[in-house]
Amino acid sequence: MIGKRSLYILKLILNNPDITTHEIQQKTNLSKRQVNYSIDNINQWLTDNHYNAIEKISGGKLILLDNVQDIISDLLKGNIDYVFDEEERQKIIFFYLYLHNQNISLFHLVDLLEVSRGTVTDDLKKLNKKLSSFKLSIKYSRENGYQLIGEETDIFYAMINFIVEVISYEEALYIIQLVLDKQASHLFYDFRKQLNQELSKDQLIISDNNIHIITYTFVFYLLRKSMISLPNKEKFWFKLNENSEFKLSKKILQAKNIFDLNDVEVLTALILSYSTKTVIKDSKEQAMIDQIIASVLERLNKTYAIAFKDRERIFGQLRMHIRPAINRMYFNFPMVNPLKDQILTKYGHIYTIIEDLFQQLNIDVIKSISEDDLAYLTIHFATFIKDTKDTDNYKLTGVIVCPSGIGVSVLLRNELTKLFPQVNFLKNVSVGQLNEVIKEIDVVFSTVLIETDKPLFIVNPVMNNIDKANLLKHFNKRFANMMMKETININSLMMIIEKYSDVKDKKGLMRELSYLLSAPTNQILIRKEQPMLSEITNNKLIQLKVEAKDWKEAIQKSAEVMKEEGKITDDYIRAMINNTESNGPYIVITKHVALPHARPEDGVIETAIGITTLKEPVVFGHELHDPVKYVFCLSTVDNNSHLKALAELVDLLDDVHFYELLEKAEEPQEILNYIKGKEG
């Protein structure tokens, strides 16, 4: 039997030839003893399945002696005696009760999970507690056994929430397989195949994960034979039966002799919520979505000094995400973003700004947008903010396989394009589409294990610098010979080196030089971090209890010290005032707070923020947030360098103690110390 931790370590070994025990410890934060225990566990599974055990060689390297693709094939087929953890067992119990709604005893669950009666009893108690948030409970009676108690619509919503959570696990296959019998499994695979075919005909785009969400949810719904009521159906922005997804759902179900209107509406709602489609030009739907996007971009520009040039591309990409996100909000369908924590770690400064922006927008339909959807939107904006450059110096053709949504795959493509300028990346594909392009490519990058004869690199969807360094190392090792043959720079360097020195290992030196020179984007790994707020302000830029007769003088006095400190020019000060006169008090971003700024080309010398408190508040003309008492004057040299500091400021403006300090501070250093204290 193999548990989640051991399975993760096995995947690390499969994807990282010559990985060491120490490297696994670093990547997993496990002790040497824990890693060795997991390797013993893996070796037991390997030998049970007629493979050789992992071999340890000098330097602690771990070597798989068998064909890696054979092992991957077994894992993907579910040929593994997997040990479920507590969370997974609870979901299995729920799914089992959902599909078998009578005569389920404790013995059935013990036999299903292969754990003790005490463990199952404990799992039932914890699951019951979770289900209370859906207004559900699990009850036992001698006559009917364990049953889910509650309204069918609430039971359906608990089911879809658990399915969405499970699909985000790599171990989803093992969980679902356990509760579906052969007949149900056949129904699932048959329905998924037909759905894929019809979606492609209708030009709907859907990720691998989302096709599983739609299919499992609807198959479970059909198997339970329940009647549910979709919320907000009457308030939906257009009638369900007037869109192409309804016609598509009707066609799919009629082919299976299913004619119930409720079933068609449920499938329609699922497709609308978990697929993307080019919005019909000049439609009511496009007008509504474009209004949201335009409001977002305008506020990013005017409030946060973030401007975008390629608006057509941005509108197109955001429509693809916002449309299903709005539909999910209408139908109360969940979205679990398994990358949320990684996104917040890497792009937390952008997330903070996007979250603040959506909270401030007065648009009803997006007021309840989830944190998970905001995290997906964050990676869209991360790709817009980052500049990418194309190159014609391609040596290889590659493809990226990403089961997650569009935003994740676009972000990953941007990162890999920068890391590997020598690779011409084709359009991203799903797992099922890989065979369509397999003859055209030399290398595959994937976020999940897949079967392929091509060189395969498993990548983290949101890579940190260590991930990038390891990926570069393994890529350059795998393609070192090709890179050396085609790189004139290395040969030229070797001629110079050999002229002035005695080279003992020519091939080894060329390999090392190839690793160094074939990744010109190594600068990504050592790029300077965006400055924190305390690094772009100082005591001289902080002014307390300044007198100003009106908003113009408030901006002028706040900006004057920035000019004196060499951060901006007189032209920039004039531009801030002119922009406010032309566009209105958009710079008043929250109660009593103004954030004046202009474009970098208007006279920015250096990224900075000046902090000014006014002795008496002044009117800027903002209907909700006047009068202004605090002026944060911003200058930024580009779209990107100020974002981390700006995210800090957004957090501070939600901190009541910060305002108290602004009021009572006698010295600028007090404010600077508070900012540094918040930064840790």
The answer to whether residues 645 and 536 touch, using CB atoms and an 8 Å cutoff, is: yes
Phi, psi of 393 (to 5 degrees): -85, 55
What is d(CA 75, CA 14) in angstroms, rounded to the nearest whole number?
Answer: 11
Asked whether the bond before 600 is cis by omega within 30 degrees of 0, the reply is no
Task: Work out whether strand 628-635 and strand 145-149 pair parallel, antiparallel, or are unpaired.
Answer: unpaired
What is d(CA 591, CA 629) in angstroms, rounded to the nearest whole number?
Answer: 9
Q: What angle do CA 462, 519, 58 make, to 5 degrees?
A: 85
Q: Which two tokens stand for residue 181?
A: 């019998």
> Cα dihedral sign for 90, 266, 407, 533?
negative
The answer to whether residues 84 and 175 touch, using CB atoms and an 8 Å cutoff, is: yes
Helix-then-strand count for the chain, H and E: 28, 13
* DSSP labels, 517-572: HS-GGGGGTTPPPPPPGGGS--GGGEEEEE--SSHHHHHHHHHHHHHHTTSB-HHH
DSSP state of 169: S
Active site residues: 597
What is d(CA 106, CA 116) in angstroms, rounded to the nearest whole number?
Answer: 10
What is d(CA 211, CA 529) in angstroms, rounded to the nearest whole number?
Answer: 38
- Secondary structure class of 628 (helix, strand, coil): strand
DSSP state of 666: S
Closest CA relative to residue 400, chosen from 391, 409, 408: 409
Task: Work out whether strand 145-149 and strand 593-594 pair parallel, antiparallel, or are unpaired.
Answer: unpaired
| 3-state SS track over 380-398 | HHHHHHCCCCCCCCCCEEE
Closest CA relative to residue 634, chosen from 602, 657, 674, 675: 602
What is d(CA 253, CA 263) in angstroms, rounded to the nearest whole number?
Answer: 8
Q: Put residue 59 in one of left, alpha, beta given phi > 0 → left and psi -120 to 50 → alpha.
A: left
What is d(CA 500, CA 493) in angstroms, rounded to the nearest whole number?
Answer: 11
Closest CA relative to residue 585, chosen from 626, 529, 549: 626
Alpha helices in 49-114 (DSSP H): 68-76, 86-99, 106-113
The answer to whether residues 575 and 603 touch, using CB atoms and an 8 Å cutoff, is: yes
Q: What is the residue whose two structure tokens read 């795998």?
A: 478
